[in-house]
């Protein structure tokens, strides 16, 4: 993976028209000289582009994980994109669509189906039956039990394991059929030039009677085995987990890459409470093999800096509980109450541990503070990723939220070509693009990172490689700041945030 900023985007939501040419159109936008985003990014994470992209969970419930949705293009378009950029794709490890050919066959034939072993049922996890205590022990990201009662077309009655929605049927990943299915996805990706994958919802993939069924030792074993299969095909693996921060550190020691999901709420906390103390504590222990993010297709994580849900007293979070609660309220206030309408019980299909809001709106649309937040992200060790809405300093899409009633859609706007061209001319977006180019090109970011001594309200970060250096200073109390860096001939240059 190149040490350059990557873009996270849906293919159809960044200038897409669903006419079969969206992938080609995206390649033009990112690679063709004269386009507003040409040469800005070193890689791109393409959010689910599989058949079909408009299911129950915006493509995270694929009918056919090995087929490109023809409304976007085909595998030749993916391969063409990999010629100029590192491309990351999702392996949706935990589940597949209830509309998939495999599940439809199972629904029709039951145990006589060739795919009967592919789908996880209650009996498969609890062959001797489940007690109330067993079911309450299962970690839940959403309200309710992870189970769906179903009467199959053949007349069989089954209780299916459905971690997220009834339309997303969990895969029996340890069954030979489950293993073969997931292996076939990796093989398809490798054949088409994809060299990075994100394991979506992998923390829930292994189920065990009497346990939490989330990030257990057996889960780590499964991740290690799957990652070894990927590496044999020349593919790097990113593990996506929202969890207590110490668990994130443990996970990072066993995989290629993890997300730094603690960073977004900690940056917001630093600006809201005018202190760098919690952020500096995290920087001192955070794993270096992280993809740094401020925003993704999901919400802003809260669990990532809070106390361990299983033991609040013995395992405190990076910020006190009362400050975490206050931070959520400040996000709601900064967004003029819009995030409240998309978070918690206010909208369907929501994770319990996230606040849904565009990051720009979460910062009250303060352009200087927003660019400083991006500078902090880019200065931390790891590979930065910028979500397409964040790239364009996007606002909450209240119209889309009202139409779908899916909370995360508040931050999943559909941009047409006119909007992209217009927003790329906004000063805040132009300066962000300049900041990305600086992060990609300056040689200091390939050297040694250090945190310099400063007061509790200040953050001083530095990169040094030989005579090349770059330094960032932010005072959260006064909002005084400076980003300076070495230039040709020993001169010092400064980045203008406003």
Find the angle CA(204)-CA(114)-CA(169) to the nearest 5 degrees. Answer: 25
DSSP strands (E only) in 284-428: 290-292, 300-301, 354-355, 383-387
- Per the CB < 8 A criterion, the answer to whether 408 and 342 are in contact is yes
Q: Check residue 347 and give its pLDDT.
A: 52
Strands 43-46 and 86-92: parallel
The residue among 36, 3, 8 whose CA lies nearest residue 385 is 8
Q: Check residue 349 and give its pLDDT.
A: 35
Q: Report whether 295 belongs to an annotated binding site.
A: no
Q: Report whether 244 belongs to an annotated binding site.
A: no
Q: Report whether 488 belongs to an annotated binding site.
A: no
Q: Is 240 a catalytic residue?
A: yes
Q: Report whether 269 belongs to an annotated binding site.
A: no
Under DSSP, the state recorded for 179 is H
DSSP strands (E only) in 98-227: 147-151, 157-161, 168-170, 196-200
The C-alpha atoms of residue 473 and residue 272 are separated, in whole angstroms, by 17
Alpha-carbon distance values, 164 to 11, 96, 171, 287, 350 (Å):
23, 11, 12, 29, 9
Q: Check residue 17 and give its pLDDT.
A: 96
The residue among 195, 212, 364, 378 whose CA lies nearest residue 293 is 378
Q: Report whether 200 belongs to an annotated binding site.
A: yes
Under DSSP, the state recorded for 396 is P
Q: Report whether 414 belongs to an annotated binding site.
A: no
Q: Check residue 142 and give its pLDDT.
A: 80
CB atoms within 10 A of CB 217: 10
Per-residue tens of pLDDT for the chain, all 498 residues: 899 999 999 999 999 999 999 999 999 999 999 999 999 999 999 999 999 999 888 899 999 999 999 999 999 999 999 999 999 999 999 999 999 999 999 999 999 999 999 999 999 999 999 999 999 999 987 888 999 999 999 999 999 999 999 999 999 999 999 999 999 999 999 999 999 999 999 999 999 999 999 989 999 999 999 999 999 999 999 999 888 899 889 888 888 999 999 999 999 999 999 999 999 999 999 999 999 999 999 999 988 999 887 654 578 999 999 999 999 999 999 999 999 999 876 554 345 579 999 999 999 999 999 999 999 999 999 999 999 999 999 999 999 999 999 899 999 999 999 999 999 999 999 999 999 999 999 999 999 999 999 999 999 999 999 999 999 999 999 999 999 999 988 899 999 998
Q: Check residue 56 and give its pLDDT.
A: 81
Q: Check residue 343 and give its pLDDT.
A: 86
Q: Which of 22, 69, 86, 200 is catalytic?
A: 200
Find the angle CA(377)-CA(379)-CA(380) to the nearest 5 degrees. Answer: 70
Q: Check residue 352 and give its pLDDT.
A: 55
Q: Report whether 139 belongs to an annotated binding site.
A: no
The DSSP element (H or E) to which 429 belongs, if any, is helix 427-441
Q: Report whether 297 belongs to an annotated binding site.
A: yes
Q: Report whether 104 belongs to an annotated binding site.
A: no
Q: Is 452 a catalytic residue?
A: no
Q: Check residue 403 and give its pLDDT.
A: 95
Q: Which of 12, 240, 409, 458 is catalytic?
A: 240
């Amino acid at each position: 993976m190149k040490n350059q900023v990557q873009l996270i985007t849906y293919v159809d939501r960044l200038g897409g028209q669903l006419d079969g040419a969206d992938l080609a159109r995206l390649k033009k936008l990112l690679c063709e000289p004269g386009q507003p985003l040409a040469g800005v990014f070193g890689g791109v994470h393409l959010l689910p582009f599989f058949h079909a992209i408009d299911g129950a969970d915006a493509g995270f419930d694929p009918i056919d994980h090995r087929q490109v949705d023809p409304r976007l293009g085909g595998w030749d378009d993916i391969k063409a994109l990999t010629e100029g950029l590192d491309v990351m794709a999702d392996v949706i490890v935990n589940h597949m669509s209830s509309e998939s050919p495999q599940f439809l066959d199972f629904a029709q034939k039951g145990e006589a189906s060739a795919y009967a072993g592919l789908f996880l049922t209650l009996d498969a996890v609890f062959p001797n039956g489940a007690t109330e205590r067993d079911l309450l022990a299962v970690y839940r990201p959403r309200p309710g039990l992870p189970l769906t009662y179903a009467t199959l077309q053949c007349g069989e009655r089954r209780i299916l394991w459905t971690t997220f929605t009834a339309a997303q049927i969990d895969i029996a990943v340890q069954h030979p059929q489950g293993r073969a299915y997931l292996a076939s996805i990796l093989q398809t990706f490798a054949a088409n030039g994809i060299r990075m994958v994100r394991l979506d919802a992998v923390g829930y993939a292994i189920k065990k009677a009497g346990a939490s069924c989330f990030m257990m030792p057996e889960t780590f074993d499964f991740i290690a085995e799957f990652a070894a299969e990927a590496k044999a095909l020349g593919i790097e693996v990113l593990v996506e987990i929202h969890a207590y921060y110490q668990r994130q550190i443990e996970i990072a020691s066993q995989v290629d890459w993890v997300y730094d999901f603690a960073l977004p709420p900690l940056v917001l906390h630093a600006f809201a409470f005018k202190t760098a103390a919690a952020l500096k504590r995290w920087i001192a222990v955070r794993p270096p093999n992280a993809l740094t993010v401020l925003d993704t297709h999901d919400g802003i994580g809260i669990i990532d800096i809070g106390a361990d849900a299983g033991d609040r007293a013995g395992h405190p979070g990076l910020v006190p509980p009362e400050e975490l609660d206050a931070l959520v309220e400040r996000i709601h206030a900064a967004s003029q109450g819009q995030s409240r309408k998309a978070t918690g019980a206010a909208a369907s299909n929501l994770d319990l541990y996230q606040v849904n809001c565009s990051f720009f709106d979460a910062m009250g649309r303060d352009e200087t503070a927003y660019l400083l937040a991006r500078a902090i992200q880019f200065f931390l060790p790891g590979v930065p990723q910028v979500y397409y809405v964040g790239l364009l300093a996007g606002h909450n899409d209240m119209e889309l939220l009202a139409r779908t009633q899916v909370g995360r859609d508040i931050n999943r706007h559909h941009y047409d070509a006119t909007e992209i061209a217009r927003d790329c001319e906004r000063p805040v977006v132009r300066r962000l693009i300049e900041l990305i180019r600086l992060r990609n090109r300056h040689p200091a970011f390939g050297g040694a990172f250090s945190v310099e001594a400063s007061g509790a309200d200040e953050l001083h970060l530095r990169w040094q490689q030989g005579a090349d250096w770059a330094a960032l200073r932010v005072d959260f109390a006064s909002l005084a700041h400076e980003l300076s860096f070495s230039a040709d001939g020993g001169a010092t240059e400064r980045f203008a945030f406003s």
